[in-house]
Amino acid sequence: MKKILILLAATLCMVLTGCNKNSYSQQRKAENKLIENFISRNNINVLTTEPADDYVWAENDYLLVPGYDNLYFHLRQAGDSISVEDGDTIHLDPIDAQETVVMRYRKFALTENADTLSYWSTLDQAYPTEFKYLNTSTCEATGWHVAVTYMKYTNAECQIICPSKLGFTADQNSVTPYCYIMKMKIKR
């Protein structure tokens, strides 16, 4: 009986781990290669230092976010601001910790030839994704919180290239990198 249980346990172990023959390390290397290929295919200009607040982002400028491996941020729209007499603009109140963020987004995988197809979108849903800024129990995707830090203001739009370890749990388990196009509103 003991031999049967051991054989059954060994078989179950092989079935559970045999579906993916690559180790986690190999999966991460493959994921990094997908990100590199996406950057190359899209002629992305990687910035290694954070631009000044008044920097005008070119369409293909992406910041390699300091301290985060393979997280890239691109500001598409700075968010709400007001004009002042001398022609400058002043942004309205930036986001604070624990404020509620309402996010609409499109998500697509970075696999070869798949980056033109939308994988998931909240653009046509009545209730977009909502979470508390810097509270990972309401949104476990670290990459999103980092993006909000750079977006700063309501109605800001960005695009991020997010490795699996900074994404949602399902993304972490599948070791799949995604690109998100996100529009944020601060719920006040």
158, 147 Cβ separation under 8 angstroms: yes
The distance between the two most distant Cα atoms of the chain, rounded to a whole number of Å, is: 86
Tens-binned pLDDT, residue by residue, of the chain (188 aa): 555 545 455 454 444 444 557 898 999 999 999 999 999 999 999 999 999 988 999 999 999 999 999 999 999 998 876 555 555 555 567 888 898 988 888 888 887 665 555 556 666 666 678 899 999 888 889 999 999 999 988 889 999 999 999 998 888 888 889 999 999 888 87
Is 72 strand, coil or helix? strand
- In the chain the beta strands, taken as DSSP E runs, fall at 45-47, 61-64, 72-77, 81-83, 89-91, 100-109, 120-121, 129-132, 157-162, 178-187
Residue 142 domain flag: yes
Residue 34 domain flag: yes
Which CATH number belongs to the domain containing residue 141 in this structure?
3.10.50.40
The domain of 39 spans: 23-187
If one counts the domains in the chain, the total is 1
Residue 86 domain flag: yes
